[in-house]
Amino acid sequence: MPEQSKTWLDDTTLRVMTYKSGSFTFALHINHERLQATIDRVNDAQVRFNKMPGLPQIIDQMQDKILASSIYSTNTIEGGEFSEEETEKILKIDPKLIQKTEEKRLTNLKQALEWVKQYSQKNLKTHQGQSISLSDILTLHELVSQEVDEKNNPPRQFRNNQPTQKTLVGNDTHGGSYRPPKCIEDIEYLMRAWIEWLNHPSILEQSVLVRASLAHYYFELIHPFWDGNGRTGRLIEMLILEQSGYRFSSSAVWKFYQQNIHEYFGLFNQCRKHTAKKDPDAQHEFVEFMVRGMLSTINDLHDQGNHLIHFLLYQTTLNGARNQGLLSERQYRLIELYITDLKEFLTPSELYRKVTIQALFKNKTERTYFRDIEKIVKMGFLLEHDGKLIPNWL
């Protein structure tokens, strides 16, 4: 049996020889020149997003929305069947009251995200990574796996395949399957080497976007646990991003992964095959995918933030008009009922037929309703476009 060994080939490349799984190389196999322009755009967008007005209402609403969206996305990537709306409802339940395994996975993820958030850096430091420990990784796995009725997946414990046990990652749809290391001696040795590589000064000084994505990539290649590797790997990526100030985008990017799931899975295998062919840019496409995802995600976050700001200004103006007597209580309630239940734009006639509106105008004539609509439109709280009523903040 060959001896385990580690050799630094240069400041950013660590080659590892295992007992049974052959050699592994942790390296920056990317084309920095091709990535730099997009990385710069991501960091510029994140700086601008971090400067967005920090009104408590905006922060609270965005946190709740991103939490539900992130957990829905990472759970769906792993085959979860809850919708985003169902996910949001389950996350509001006291975890102590949850018994079903599928629901427990969601509340576990919420606890894991909250644990990562405690390490959040307020200022964006794009090339100042912080070290992570093996204990961090084991904690994340424990958080996503705790109290879940899964066989052969003890929290914090690495795999140790027996001779008859096989672990396959991937499938033919996404570029084929891969057999990760299977004996615990190799897995433990690779995990320690991976941590050493991630915490090396030359790697800590790299773009945090590159370091986070490659941490995720190499972790999935080792695939150290029986289950929960995907969820844990994305949380590791999130932790590295949070440590350097990538506020909200650190987990919101999971929505991009879920929406592009075939490319996401396919790139793991594609990059692995490029490595086998000794391609000097073997991991470039996976890193580029993540960086593109971050840019798209942060732009979406800007839109969400601006939308919330406009909505809060709208509500302030609306409340002011009621308090000054410019809108009657009934007219105010008419607007409130429409925007609260807004799932599609309606014509005045369609809105009038809604049960809640009928109740509001009980003992009032239809003519009174249309006079109220006319006044509301004239004051600019609702706009008419192609016959539909549209709130003016949209």
Q: What is the pLDDT of residues 33-59, one digit of tens each?
A: 999 999 999 999 999 998 887 666 777
Predicted confidence at residue 376, as pLDDT, reads: 97
Q: pTM to 2 decimals?
A: 0.90
Q: Which residues are annotated as a binding site for ATP?
A: 227-234
Q: Choosing from 216, 223, 274, 284, which is the catalytic residue?
A: 223
The answer to whether 244 and 124 have CB atoms below 8 angstroms apart is yes
Domain boundaries, the chain: 5-306, 327-391
Q: Is 223 a catalytic residue?
A: yes
Pick the CATH number of 327-391 from 3.40.50.620, 1.10.10.10, 1.10.1040.10, 3.20.20.70: 1.10.10.10
Position 385 confidence tier, pLDDT thresholds 50, 70, 90 = very high
CATH match of 5-306 with 3.30.870.10: no
Position 235 confidence tier, pLDDT thresholds 50, 70, 90 = very high
> Which stretches of the chain are DSSP H helices?
32-50, 56-77, 84-91, 101-117, 134-145, 184-198, 201-204, 208-222, 229-243, 249-259, 261-276, 284-323, 329-340, 348-352, 355-360, 366-379
Reading phi first (left if > 0) and then psi (alpha if -120 to 50, else beta), residue 299 is in: alpha
Predicted confidence at residue 165, as pLDDT, reads: 85
Bridging pattern class, strands 382-385 and 388-391: antiparallel
